[in-house]
Amino acid sequence: MYTLRWLPPYDWEWMFGFLKMRAVEGVEVFSDGRYTRSFALDGHRGLMVLEPDENTQTLRVTLSDGLLPVADACLERIERLLDLQCDPQAVSRALGPLGAPRPGLRLPGALDAFEQGIRAILGQLVSVTMAAKLTAKVVHTCGAPLENEPGFYCFPTPQQLAQADPLRLKSLGMPLKRAEALIHLANATLSGELPLTAPDNIEQGMKSLQSFPGIGRWTANYFALRGWQAKDVFLPDDYLIKQRFPGMTPAQIRRYAERWQPWRSYALLHIWYTDDWSPDIS
């Protein structure tokens, strides 16, 4: 067992709730305060079990034997997924009154940027629940069962999805263009065209993503937010954000959000999850 630490406060109920809503059958399970999921890295495959202990402010991590050769890399990815390196005091100082009601909110990241890109594409124009169900179909069709762990599959690798039949993917319940976008993303990952870690210039990186088939501005921004865990991304043309800023154009919203730099990603989360929030336009 391994132990990771975080700086309080940390809203574990919210974080696990966020991830549980998006959990993919066959990949992820939440039970008894634990998060269990399959994972594959550099040819090594296995299960990881994550269990926070708020009394000691530690996260207990158990890796199955298959992941032990890449344990250090797994721990780094878990820290990114759960934003364990965040300094909540620095974020609170920047957000001011916006962040005060929920100081333990963290930015959900991803264990694997490619996986997050696939999830983002599959989540377009459908509910969170439907996106998770569709992603599970892709996993069961293109992924491989995890040895000695009945019911668990590993998320498809770029190699597996690059070889997928777009018509077979379409038959799972998605438009053909979306199926082709998944295959393009897989090939872009294999070629290095898709950066799997945050580029130095996030804005340029998001613009480059929009040249990929099936990836518009919202998806590119959301991928940067979670796949790269970029800390300073805001989505001024997001549907819910526009509702929170009635009467303001996306350009006006973008200018308003500049007050929260360099932590606009956290500001975005707080606005999304605070129903009665409204901008101060005095």
Question: Would the pLDDT of 231 be above 80?
Answer: yes
pTM of the model: 0.95
Any idea where the domains of the chain sit in the sequence?
A: 2-98, 113-226, 232-282
User: What is the architecture of the domain spanning 113-226?
Assistant: Orthogonal Bundle (1.10)
Q: Which helix (H) or strand (E) holds 153?
A: strand 153-154
Q: What is the pLDDT of residues 7-52, one digit of tens each?
A: 999 999 999 999 999 999 999 999 999 999 999 999 999 999 999 9
The structure tokens listed for 84 are: 């364990």
At the top level of CATH, the class of 2-98 is alpha beta
Q: What is the pLDDT of residues 78-134, one digit of tens each?
A: 999 999 999 999 999 999 999 999 999 999 999 999 999 999 999 998 999 999 999
- DSSP characters for 13-67? HHHHHHHHHTPPTTTEEEETTEEEEEEEETTEEEEEEEEEETTTTEEEEEE-GGG
Q: Which CATH number applies to 232-282: 1.10.1670.10, 3.40.50.300, 3.90.1310.10, 3.65.10.10?
A: 1.10.1670.10
Question: Would the pLDDT of 219 be above 80?
Answer: yes
| Residues 6+ positions from 235 with CB-CB distance below 8 Å | 218, 221, 222, 225, 241, 268
Determine the pLDDT at residue 212: 96
Give the start-end residues of each E strand in 190-242: none
Nearest by Cα to 155 from 107, 197, 189, 128 = 189
Residue 281: band (very low, low, confident or very high) from pLDDT cuts 50, 70, 90: confident
Determine the pLDDT at residue 282: 63
The catalytic position among 42, 238, 275, 276 is: 238
Determine the pLDDT at residue 280: 86
Residue 217: band (very low, low, confident or very high) from pLDDT cuts 50, 70, 90: very high
Question: Is residue 87 annotated as part of the catalytic site, yes or no?
Answer: no
